[in-house]
A and B are shown apart, each in its own frame.
Chain A
Amino acid sequence: MMRLLEYKSKEILVKNGIPIPSSVLVSDLSHASFPLPAVLKAQVPIGGRQKAGGVVEVQTRQEAEAHLQRLLSSEVRGHPVESVLIEERVETTREFYLGITVDTVAKKPIAIFSTEGGIEVEETSKKNPNAVLKRHFPASTGLPEFRAREMISQCGIRGRLLLRLSATLSRLTAIFTRYDATIAEINPLAQTADGKVIALDCHMELDDDALFRHATLASLSQKSKQQKGHSEKGDFEKKAAEIDRLDQRGVAGRLIAFDGDLGLIIGGGGASLTAFDAVLRHEGRPANYCEIGGNPSVLKTKELTKLILSKPGVEKLAVIMNIVSNTRVDLMARGVIKGILESGRVPSETLAVFRIPGAWEEEGFKILRKYGVEYCDRTVSIDEAARIAVEKTRGNL
Chain B
Amino acid sequence: MSEFIQIEIDPNLCAGTEECGKCVTVCPVNIFEPGSPLPGISETNEDECTLCELCLQNCGPRAIQIHKLYED
Q: List A residues at the B interface (Cβ < 8 Å).
A: 297-299, 328, 330-331, 334, 337-338, 341, 363, 366-367, 370
* CB of A360 to closest CB in B, whole Å: 8
Question: How far apart sit A338 and B48, CA to CA, in the bound complex (Å)?
Answer: 12
Of all chain B residues, the one with the shortest Cβ separation from A297 is: B48
List 5 interface pairs A-B (beta carbons < 8 Å), by A numbering.
A328-B50, A331-B50, A338-B47, A363-B51, A367-B4
B70 touches A298 (CB 8 A): no
Pick from B3, B29, B50, B71: contact of A366, CB below 8 A: B71
For A298, A299, A338, A367, which residue has the most chain B Cβ atoms within 10 angstroms?
A298
Question: How far apart sit A302 and B48, CA to CA, in the bound complex (Å)?
Answer: 11
Question: How far apart sit A330 and B29, CA to CA, in the bound complex (Å)?
Answer: 15
Question: How far apart sit A330 and B4, CA to CA, in the bound complex (Å)?
Answer: 10
Question: How far apart sit A341 and B47, CA to CA, in the bound complex (Å)?
Answer: 14
Pick from B29, B50, B51, B70: contact of A370, CB below 8 A: B70
B48 touches A298 (CB 8 A): yes
Question: How far apart sit A299 and B4, CA to CA, in the bound complex (Å)?
Answer: 13
Question: How far apart sit A370 and B29, CA to CA, in the bound complex (Å)?
Answer: 25
Chain A residues contacting B3 (CB-CB under 8 Å) are 334, 337-338, 341
Pick from B48, B50, B70: contact of A367, CB below 8 A: B70
Question: How far apart sit A367 and B70, CA to CA, in the bound complex (Å)?
Answer: 6
Given contacts A298-B48, A341-B3, A366-B70, 11 further A-B contacts (CB under 8 A): A298-B47, A328-B50, A330-B51, A331-B50, A334-B4, A334-B47, A363-B51, A366-B68, A366-B71, A367-B4, A367-B70
Q: Mark B26-70, 1 if CB is under 8 A from A, else 0.
A: 000100000000000000000110110000000000000000101
Chain B residues contacting A341 (CB-CB under 8 Å) are 3
Question: How far apart sit A15 and B30, CA to CA, in the bound complex (Å)?
Answer: 59
Question: How far apart sit A298 and B4, CA to CA, in the bound complex (Å)?
Answer: 11
Question: How far apart sit A330 and B71, CA to CA, in the bound complex (Å)?
Answer: 13
Chain B residues contacting A370 (CB-CB under 8 Å) are 70
* CB of B31 to closest CB in A, whole Å: 12
Question: How far apart sit A298 and B5, CA to CA, in the bound complex (Å)?
Answer: 12
Question: How far apart sit A40 and B71, CA to CA, in the bound complex (Å)?
Answer: 66
* CB of A334 to closest CB in B, whole Å: 5
* CB of B19 to closest CB in A, whole Å: 31
Chain B residues contacting A297 (CB-CB under 8 Å) are 29, 48
Question: How far apart sit A331 and B3, CA to CA, in the bound complex (Å)?
Answer: 12
Of all chain A residues, the one with the shortest Cβ separation from B3 is: A338
Of all chain B residues, the one with the shortest Cβ separation from A328 is: B50
* CB of A304 to closest CB in B, whole Å: 15
Chain A residues contacting B68 (CB-CB under 8 Å) are 366
* CB of B4 to closest CB in A, whole Å: 5
* CB of A285 to closest CB in B, whole Å: 30
Question: How far apart sit A337 and B50, CA to CA, in the bound complex (Å)?
Answer: 16
* CB of A250 to closest CB in B, whole Å: 12
Of all chain B residues, the one with the shortest Cβ separation from A335 is: B47
Question: How far apart sit A328 and B50, CA to CA, in the bound complex (Å)?
Answer: 9
